[in-house]
Each structure stands twice: as structure tokens, then as C-alpha cells.
Amino acid sequence: MASKRGLFGTNGIRGKVNEDLNLNFIMRSALAIGSFFGKNEKIVVGSDTRKSSDMVKFAIFSSLISQGHDVFDAGIVPTPALQLYSKMHGKFGIMVTASHNPPEYNGIKVIGKDGTEIDERDENAIEEIFYIENFRKENFASLGNYIMVNDVNMNYIGSIVEKVNREIIKDSKISVALDCSNGSSIFTSPEILKILGIKYTTINCNRDGLFISHNPEPKEENLKDLEYLTKNNFSFGAAHDGDADRVAFVDENGSFVYGDKILTLFAREILSKRKGYVVLPISATMAVEEIAKMYDSKVIYTRVGAPIVARKMIETGALFGGEDNGGYIFSDHQYCRDGAMALARIIEIIAKYKRPFSEIIADLPEYYQKKSSIHVEKKKIQYVMKNLKNEIKGKNFIHIDGIKIIEGQSWILIRPSGTEPLIRIYAESKDRKDLESIYNEYQKKIKSLLKDL
């Protein structure tokens, strides 16, 4: 994965351990990152629970120390905990994680001193150093130091519990079933629930670097145990991904709650108090726009990718942003996906309404969605996209990342995959029949373009 399309993918550097992500590759990546950081920096490094995380982390430490940087070992931490620490202390950060990928993967995320993942321009600068091997190094007397830090998780926990109304939560009698997916949240989210005075139980809350219970991706098919446990026993269930920057929810009936509903709920809560901007990737639900209009507010769309959404939020002063995969970004806390902050805020919302979670969700605008993908050889993708653009002249469309055509209360997004020979199709409508018709129309168009080739 890592070596095929340059160093960085959509979520940092990733690969299979001891295959493409071997020691040599990790050290060269770290030397390139360390060279990019400059001279004598202080760099905080954290990791998720993966079996390979220590191997990757210590290779990074050696590389950075050889360049004269001081390294701060944060231990096992959620990515947003590392990002918060980075921001508060003005230090560069490196997170060792492959997020939701299977256990044989690992990866490296680079965090700027503002606590947000570096942008594409900085990634390109690191790539250039990597390929020409223009690595900074120091003589023996100027080598960096290794320092352990043990307050990164506590700092994150403290910051989150301060951001919610603890009084209404304490009196709410809310109970939570929590699935840590054996990942980074094992030391933070249970602690947050304890401090908030919530009755809770946990599953997969021990360190297991091989993720034996389920892959650390909080999607419906991985959360059957959580659904079973939650049904009729808890106010809701929550599950984090491997590095706990994301969280997914299950209602009191044991039904999975889709991320677009949670996005819409957070947007409503935030915009009803204060009007402003919400930043979403182009593929996000229109329901947020409906809510934004109600509160005299606006949705700004970006290319797909959480760091892109976060950077746009900083640029525009937006109040909230996120993705429908469980990544929610709150500007009053920090500009990154923030799994435990989202968990605490869902508790606060349920405490405020004093109603079952399923009823709160049922109040949100209803949209129908359809997603699929068509296999298209990489060399043919450009042809299809160019001709499609010609065919839709005169229509209302947005061309930020793929092509999104908007027709009344329906839209369809046709977007080439960044990594695979696929064109992805996302469609949404307020009306089930309109959804089918827009979806079929464009699927036919793409297929007939492919026939012409």
C-alpha cells in the first residue's frame, strides 16, 4: 500500500508490517519526517495497541534521535489524545497506527504543532526528502534524548469531561455499553465514563494487538456483540476504531445508528445554539444542509478526507465538521476527529432530551441513500470522468472531488477511487423513487461510456 502510490495515502503512511512497511522503510520514512521537522525539535510519539506498534515506534525513535531531535514517548494513546497534547505543548507529533485496518497493517501519521495532521504540501515535501534521501544527521555529541511522558491520556480525559455539562449527565441515569475494539481507547473512554458517573460495561477493552474479537473498524457487521449486549440493557452502545479517533453508536434497541444521522444530530445541536459553518466532505448527507438552513447557517464542502475537512474548518472558522464514518470534529475542542469527545457529547444530548436515543434519532430529517462502485481500469477512469462532465453541461453540479450532480432534493456523486480501479457512486434523495431514478440514469451513462471505449 505504502510504496505503490508515493509515501502518503489518504490517512498517512500505511503498509503491511515486515512487507512494504519493513524496518528499512520505517526508518527512511522517519528520517525524512525528522529532516522535514528541522533542527533540535521536540517530537511526541504515540501508538495504538497493535502487536507491531513497538517495533515501528522504536525504529522511529532511533531515527529521530540520530538527527538530534528529543523524542517523547507517549505510550498507547488515542490519536486525538496525541493531537491535543501536540497542540497544547506546540510540539510535532507522530502517531503509529493503521486505524481500522486489520492487525497485519501499521502506519505513521504526522501531526503539526497545531495538533492537526499535516497538509498535502508538507506531505509532498517529506516525500521529496524520502526519495532523494536527503536526510539530516548529527554527530554523536548532538544526538537527541529519549523521554517518557505519562500524562497524554490524563490530559485528554480531563479536557473532555470539562467540555460537557456534568451536572445533567450525573442525574441522567444513562448507561453505556462500550466496545474499545481492543484499541487505543482502552485507557481513556472507560475512565471518561467513570468520571462522568455513568453506569457502564465494556467489551474488548484489553490490549490485544491481533484484534481477535473483530477488526477494529466500527461498522455494523463488526458490532454484533455490542448490539446484543446493548439491546434492552443500556441507553446506548458505543464502539471506537483502533486509534479511537472515531466512534459508532447503537441505540437502546440494539440497532446500529448510521454516521450520517450522528453528523446531522451534532450539527443540529451546535447550530441551534449559534449560527455558523459546518464543513463536510462532498459525499456527506444533505440532511445537514436542511438543518443548516433552519438555523440560518451554511455547509461548506471539501474533498473527501478528514485532515482536509479539519484544515477547512480552521480556514473558515467553522463550528463543526466530520464524516459519516464516525469521525466528528468539534472546533471548541480541537481540529481533528475526536472519538471520545463525540461519545461524551452523545451522553450529554441524551441527558438533555431525557428521551430514548432511538426517538432522538427518529426526529432527524429522513433521506434515502445508495452506494456502489463500478470496476473501471485506471487508464479509462479519466476518459469516463471527462465525457461525463461534457454530458451534464447545463446541470447543477459541483466538481471538487469527482462530480456531484444536484437535482432538487436528490444528488449523485461519481468519484474515482484514489487507490483502486473503481468509480464510486453515492446517491441520496428525500424520495425513494427519485433516488432510484437518478441512480439508474447515471449508472447507465457510465456503462454506456465504458462500452464506447
Active site residues: 99
For Mg ion, which residue of 29, 53, 63, 99 counts as binding (CB under 5 A)? 99
Exposure b/e, 247-258, CB count within 10 A at least 16 = b: bbbbbbebbbbb
Q: Is 86 in the site for Mg ion (CB under 5 A)?
A: no
For Mg ion, which residue of 41, 179, 217, 243 counts as binding (CB under 5 A)? 243
Exposure b/e, 70-102, CB count within 10 A at least 16 = b: bbbbbebbbbbbbbbbbbebebbbbbbbbbbbe
DSSP assignment string, 68-132: T-EEEEEEE--HHHHHHHHHHHT-EEEEE--TTS-TTEEEEEEE-TTSSB--HHHHHHHHHHHHH
Phi, psi angles (nearest 5°) of residue 447: -65, -35
For Mg ion, which residue of 41, 208, 217, 245 counts as binding (CB under 5 A)? 245
Residue 381, all three cell numbers = 477512469
DSSP assignment string, 250-272: E-TTS-EE-HHHHHHHHHHHHHT
CB of 226 to Mg ion, least distance (A): 17
Q: Is 252 in the site for Mg ion (CB under 5 A)?
A: no
The nearer residue to Mg ion, 99 or 204, going by C-beta atoms, is 99
CB of 349 to Mg ion, least distance (A): 23
Q: In the beta sheet, which residues pair with residue 43? A: 71, 92
The nearer residue to Mg ion, 98 or 405, going by C-beta atoms, is 98
CB of 255 to Mg ion, least distance (A): 23
Q: How many residues make contact with Mg ion (CB under 5 A)? A: 4
Closest residue to bound Mg ion by CB: 99
The nearer residue to Mg ion, 41 or 117, going by C-beta atoms, is 117
Sign (positive or negative) of CA dihedral 260, 266, 271, 277:
negative
Q: Is 241 in the site for Mg ion (CB under 5 A)?
A: yes
Choices 23-31, 243-251, 285-293, 345-353 (CB under 5 A): range interacting with Mg ion: 243-251
The nearer residue to Mg ion, 105 or 320, going by C-beta atoms, is 105
- Decide: 91 and 72 in contact? Cβ < 8 Å: yes
CB of 100 to Mg ion, least distance (A): 6
Specify burial of residue 382 (Cβ count, 10 A radius: 0-12, 13-18, 19+). Answer: exposed
The nearer residue to Mg ion, 12 or 68, going by C-beta atoms, is 12
Choices 173-181, 202-210, 217-225, 242-250 (CB under 5 A): range interacting with Mg ion: 242-250
Choices 122-130, 211-219, 241-249, 434-442 (CB under 5 A): range interacting with Mg ion: 241-249
Choices 37-45, 93-101, 112-120, 396-404 (CB under 5 A): range interacting with Mg ion: 93-101
Measured CA to CA, the distance from residue 243 to residue 326 in angstroms comes to 12
CB of 157 to Mg ion, least distance (A): 19
Q: In the beta sheet, which residues pair with residue 302? A: 281
Choices 27-35, 56-64, 245-253, 263-271 (CB under 5 A): range interacting with Mg ion: 245-253
Taking alpha carbons only, the member of 417, 248, 269 closest to residue 332 is: 269
Measured CA to CA, the distance from residue 452 to residue 150 in angstroms comes to 61
CB of 245 to Mg ion, least distance (A): 4
Task: State the residues that interact with Mg ion by CB under 5 A.
Answer: 99, 241, 243, 245
